[in-house]
């Protein structure tokens, strides 16, 4: 599946926010009467309107490309109605509120000649909460500043992980793996090595996606269970949750990374599955990882000065 809509969504969102910021700042500058009592040139006001118009255009492009990126499963309702989206509903809701505020500001600006000055001014003042809402949306929904670092940490010390996927019949399956590694940060790519005979590999081929559940120390039972093959794993006894991209995930994991299959490469009796990380969720600070060292489970021991640091 093409990654173009995903990249367009992220790029257009950043550009829309930057244009909005420039428009608000330019409007504040003009309202401060930088030329004193002398009327300011008409092109300065035109520039303010042009920046606002461009911000609207890129916002529409942002929303359209988000819906077009079918792998994220955004519907038209989920980008127009707050809290309908299953992916970060609060963060998306901030963006939806911003979308409506932007629409109100732009429409009243276009219809300014037909409105009273007080009515136009009252709506135009919504530009300030609009900028705040858009900024909160960008911070809470964006992943560039947080997921990259998180992927680096997860890739550096993977510990024990369970790779989960949904079979062609919609049944959750999984397999324990410690051959997990970070491949690239831009774009964020990870790899998992799975046996040719793996039921999970077959499910990944069928669905085009998989989740990497990095286990915490309290989840040893999942590691033991999914080390077994096929029906012996008794996956039907596990209380999976539905995670991002519709993937089955293990609740309370140290980290959960939802991936879209980027490529699958043969390597002996295994297949190297390369995934594009589309979502990352982490446990609360202080959750200890489950580690496997020299044939047995282990744990990290930190000296007191290391804890203080």
The pLDDT tens digits of the residues spanning 58-98 come to 999 999 999 987 656 788 999 999 999 887 888 899 999 99
Structure tokens at 98: 């911003």
Q: What's the pLDDT score for residue 274?
A: 95
Q: What is the pLDDT of residue 188?
A: 85
pTM recorded for the entire structure: 0.53
Q: Please check whether residue 273 is in contact with residue 165, taking contact to mean a CB–CB distance below 8 angstroms.
A: no
- Domain spans of the chain, in order of start: 4-141, 147-308
**Radius of gyration of the chain from its Cα atoms, rounded to whole angstroms:** 24
Average pLDDT of every residue of the chain = 83
Please give the structure tokens belonging to residue 107.
Answer: 């429409």
At 7 the pLDDT is 84
User: How buried is 183 (Cβ within 10 angstroms: 0-12 exposed, 13-18 middle, 19+ buried)?
Assistant: middle
- Taking residue 68's Cβ as centre, other Cβ atoms within 10 Å add up to 15
- What phi and psi, each to the nearest 5 degrees, are found at residue 113? -65, -20
In this structure, whether the domain defined by 147-308 belongs to CATH 2.30.110.10 is answered with yes
Q: What is the pLDDT along the chain (309 residues), one digit of tens a residue?
A: 466 887 898 899 999 999 999 998 888 777 765 555 665 677 778 888 899 999 999 999 999 999 987 656 788 999 999 999 887 888 899 999 999 999 999 999 889 889 898 898 889 889 989 989 999 898 878 655 445 444 444 444 447 899 999 999 999 999 998 778 888 877 888 999 999 999 999 999 999 999 999 998 899 999 899 988 878 788 889 999 999 999 999 999 988 999 999 999 999 889 999 999 998 888 877 778 887 765 666 665 544 443 334
| pLDDT at residue 28, rounded to an integer | 77
Residues composing the chain: 309
The DSSP-derived string for 229-257 is -GGGG-GGGS--EE-GGG-EE-TT-SEEE
């Amino acid at each position: 599946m093409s990654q173009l809509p995903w990249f367009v969504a992220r790029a257009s969102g950043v550009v829309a926010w930057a244009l909005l910021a420039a428009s608000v700042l330019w409007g504040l500058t003009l309202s401060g009467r930088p030329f004193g009592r002398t009327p300011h040139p008409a092109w300065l006001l035109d520039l303010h309107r042009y920046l606002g118009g461009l911000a609207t255009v890129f916002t529409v492009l942002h929303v359209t490309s988000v819906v077009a990126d079918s792998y994220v499963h955004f519907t038209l309702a989920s980008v127009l109605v707050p809290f309908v989206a299953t992916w970060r509903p609060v963060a998306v809701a901030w963006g939806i509120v911003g979308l409506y505020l932007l629409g109100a500001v732009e429409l009243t600006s276009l219809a300014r000649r037909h409105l009273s000055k007080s009515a136009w001014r009252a709506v135009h003042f919504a530009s300030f909460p609009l900028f705040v809402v858009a900024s909160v949306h960008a911070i809470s929904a964006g992943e560039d500043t947080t997921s990259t670092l998180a992927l680096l940490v997860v890739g550096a010390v993977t510990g024990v992980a369970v790779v989960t996927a949904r079979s062609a019949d919609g049944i959750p399956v999984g397999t324990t793996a410690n051959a997990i590694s970070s491949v690239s940060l831009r774009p964020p790519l990870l790899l998992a090595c799975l046996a040719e005979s793996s039921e999970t590999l077959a499910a990944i081929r069928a669905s085009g996606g998989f989740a990497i559940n990095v286990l915490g120390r309290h989840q040893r039972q999942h590691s033991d269970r999914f080390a077994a093959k096929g029906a012996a794993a008794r996956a039907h006894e596990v209380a999976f949750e539905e995670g991002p991209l519709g993937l089955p995930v293990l609740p309370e994991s140290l980290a959960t990374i939802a991936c879209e299959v980027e490529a699958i490469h043969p390597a002996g009796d295994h297949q190297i599955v390369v995934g594009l990380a589309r979502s990352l969720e982490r446990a609360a600070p202080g959750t200890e990882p489950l580690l496997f060292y020299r044939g047995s489970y282990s744990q990290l021991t930190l000296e007191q000065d290391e804890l203080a640091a």
